[in-house]
Amino acid sequence: MKRNNATPGNEDQYKQKNSKDSLMDNEVIYEFGGPIGAIGLILFSHFIMIYLWVSLEFHDGNVFYPSGFTDIWPWLVRVFGLWYQYALPTVESVKIYGTFILIEVLLAMFIPGLKIKGLPVPSENGKQLEYNCNAIHSWYILLSLVIFLQYFKIWSLASVIDNFAPLITTAILGANILSIILYISAFLTNKTHRMSGNHIYDFFMGASLNPRFFNIDLKMWAEVRVSWALLFFLTLSAAVKQYETIGEISAEMFIVVLAHFLYANACHKGEHCIPTTWDIFYEKWGWMIIYWNLAGVPFVYSFQSRFILKHHPIGNGAFLNTILIILLLLAYYVFDTANAQKNQFRMIEYGTYVKRNTFPQLPWGVLENPRYLNTEHGNKLLIDGWYRYARKIHYTADTLMALIWGLSCGYSHFLPFFYVCFFTGMIIHRYLRDQHRCKKKYGKDWEKYCKIVPYVFIPYIY
Ligand code: NDP
């Protein structure tokens, strides 16, 4: 395959050919409903974490709401009263969360890894930042450490779930403090980028593009190593607690442990594909991403494992559980290979592709001589592999996995399905944002691509 002009080694041509990228990189547009939407999302994101915890602890995991208009205030006072009474940070919660963050920082700083160059950054005169992709090694070191501590009874992972309530607030505070520090330091170091001038919106979307702590790209670090690793350890902690309480790990608990392991593992093993993605190239590191990486993803997405812990036995039965495991593995296969096909196609195009033997390497993850569409922009668009059938089939697979997390909790309650509802809304919004951006970037070539691959989520249906 011929290499694209936007190769990392070809910065002058990059500047000339991708002035469109540069224009888009500087263009300020209000997304997420602008400043009002940002305030709404900040409030919602805090509230939902507390609400889900109160529901599981005090309402048996049921939806609960004010009985009428006049009850709204007393209802809120009660919810926040419970939070204030039981969920303020403790020495233990700060120790657990702080130790986890510290270990992740040290591993990211000192473990050798694969060096990958990102795309030339328009706002830094086409400079290419280097990324030390050592997440997979850090991930296995961390897993071994936890297993060692657990096996030799030095520290039990169950203490994480035992401290869940104060941990929520510790994570919320940590995420907010870090967001404020990052926002102010972007001004102090003159690293602000694509600012709207509205502080609320800019704080929400972020001020700096690629903030670094020594050699660590904080945005990539948090996306891969904090959110998904913490989610997995929270779920594993629920499994350990279940084992300590009833002497076994239920099939339903096994399903969520497997699901969260696969997801966290996929993020770590695919870290080297991330430096050339839109998230790194374009998205700034603001409150939205910081909060959801440091607090939202682990503490909201782990609802199912805590639900299963509290509602044993779920009673799905062997047949349904087997179906769920098979469906989970199939959905994961599509999710993993679709992401791998596109990311590795892009890496080959940018000249950053490196074959890695990280587990699991699935068949059809890398396409040999795939068909693609040339564009005026210079980038190529893949129209082969999964991308022959639907443009966002990996979103569908991800949504199916989210549904399986919910189904592993049975059908008696709605809240285990909150995640799949939330995820569906979020991913559709993400699709619309991406569609909008790609239309702008590729113009009529994007329309051509959409004609060649007309389906978005489900082949031959939509
Ligand atoms: P994509 O992986 O679909 O990336 C979109 C970008 O890929 C486009 O902007 C374009 O960028 C490039 N692209 C699109 N189509 C093609 C093509 N045919 N050929 C080559 N390049 C193409 O989206 P995301 O980054 O949103 O998602 C990645 C994964 O992460 C998904 O599986 C998603 O489900 C998951 N995810 C999960 C979340 C969660 O909370 N659980 C949150 C967000 C995502 P360009 O042309 O500029 O290279």
Q: Is 339 in the pocket of ligand 1 (CB under 6 A)?
A: yes
Contacts of 323 (CB under 8 A, 6+ apart): none
Q: Is 227 in the pocket of ligand 1 (CB under 6 A)?
A: no
CA triple 375-5-281, angle to 5 deg: 85
Which residues span the domain enclosing 372?
A: 11-452
Ligand 1 mean position to 114 CA, how many Å?
A: 22
Ligand 1 mean position to 430 CA, how many Å?
A: 9
Give the other-Cβ count within 10 Å of 312's Cβ.
Answer: 15
* Closest-lying ligand 1 atom to the alpha carbon of residue 402: 41
Residue 285 counted as domain residue? yes
Contacts of 124 (CB under 8 A, 6+ apart): none
CA nearest neighbour of 200 among 14, 421, 32 = 32
Burial class (CB in 10 A: 0-12, 13-18, 19+), 300: buried
Residue 389 counted as domain residue? yes
Q: What's the confidence (pLDDT) of residue 268?
A: 98
What are 75's two structure tokens? Answer: 């209802």
Residue 53 counted as domain residue? yes
Residue 135 counted as domain residue? yes
Residue 32 counted as domain residue? yes
Burial class (CB in 10 A: 0-12, 13-18, 19+), 21: buried
Residue 343 counted as domain residue? yes
Total number of domains constituting the chain: 1
Ligand 1 mean position to 383 CA, how many Å?
A: 14
Cα-Cα-Cα-Cα dihedral sign, residues 271, 275, 280, 286: positive
Residue 3 counted as domain residue? no
User: Which neighbouring-strand residues pair with 230?
Assistant: none
Q: Is 381 in the pocket of ligand 1 (CB under 6 A)?
A: yes
CA triple 112-131-379, angle to 5 deg: 140
Q: What's the confidence (pLDDT) of residue 122?
A: 87
Taking only the tens place, the pLDDT of each residue in 228-285 is 999 999 999 999 999 999 999 999 999 999 999 999 999 999 999 999 888 898 999 9
CA nearest neighbour of 222 among 278, 282, 292 = 292
The pTM assigned to this predicted structure is 0.95
Residue 457 counted as domain residue? no
Q: What's the confidence (pLDDT) of residue 123?
A: 86
Q: Is 25 in the pocket of ligand 1 (CB under 6 A)?
A: no
Cα-Cα-Cα-Cα dihedral sign, residues 281, 282, 285, 288: negative
* Closest-lying ligand 1 atom to the alpha carbon of residue 387: 18
What type of residue sits at position 443? G
Residues of the chain with pLDDT under 50: 1-10, 12-13, 16
Taking only the tens place, the pLDDT of each residue in 97-135 is 999 999 999 999 999 999 999 988 888 888 899 999 999
Q: What's the confidence (pLDDT) of residue 18?
A: 61
Q: Is 377 in the pocket of ligand 1 (CB under 6 A)?
A: no
* Closest-lying ligand 1 atom to the alpha carbon of residue 297: 40
